[in-house]
Amino acid sequence: MAETASATPIYGKDHILVFRLYKDRAAKNATKLAFQTTHSWKFEAKSDSTETKDGSINSPATATATLEIEAVSSLDDVNKFLKQAVLDSEKLEVWDVNLADKQGEGKYSASYGQGYLQSWEVPSEVGKLTKIKTTMNIDQKPQDGLATFTAEQQAEIQYAFADTTPVTGEAPK
């Protein structure tokens, strides 16, 4: 009998986006966007309809994918290179890593896409944190697989336990 997946709820906090400029893929690791609040995958396949004397006939359309992203703005390098990627029409790679689905040492299930950010919106409101909003147009279809998520990348998300004694040899964060 085939094994079935258990009905386990999925939490948005477990999905982390990491990015890299496509041109840097041979030299750099992907980097997490700090202070992510929301991201949404959107898949669309709008079919065309042709009316005939016998009734409408629909023709299939190629599916498109977009990724809408919101995060609290910060002065980190990822915010800077993503903004510059919009201005320079730079191709990006993105991974949506599911930290709740560990598949081995440092490996997690993930969706991977390549594409371009189509906007960079930074609304600033009195008394609130400044947020970025952007949408990424994904080339072709995102691919599912396993992504490496290192201990260093994990540390960017959550600080580690510290003892009550003085901490030495560590730069302040």
CB neighbourhood size of 96 (10 A): 19
What is the pTM for the complete model shown?
0.80
Please provide the average confidence, as pLDDT, over all residues in the chain: 86
Is the pLDDT at 167 greater than 80? The verdict is no
Tokens coding 136: 């990424």
Is the pLDDT at 169 greater than 90? The verdict is no
What is the C-alpha to C-alpha distance for residues 95 and 146, in angstroms, rounded to an integer?
A: 10
User: Residue 9's pLDDT band (boundaries 50, 70, 90)?
Assistant: confident
> By the 8 A CB rule, do 138 and 67 touch?
yes
Which one is predicted more confidently, 55 or 166?
55
Query: Which of 15-19, 84-88, 119-123, 161-165 comes out lowest in average pLDDT?
Result: 161-165
What is the C-alpha to C-alpha distance for residues 76 and 96, in angstroms, rounded to an integer?
A: 20
Q: How far apart are the first and last CA of the chain?
A: 52
What is the C-alpha to C-alpha distance for residues 46 and 49, in angstroms, rounded to an integer?
A: 10
The CA–CA distances, whole Å, from 43 to 26, 97, 109 equal 29, 18, 19
Is the pLDDT at 47 greater than 60? The verdict is yes
Structural domains of the chain sorted by starting position, each given as residue range(s) with its CATH number in brackets: 12-45+60-149 (4.10.410)
> By the 8 A CB rule, do 121 and 131 touch?
no
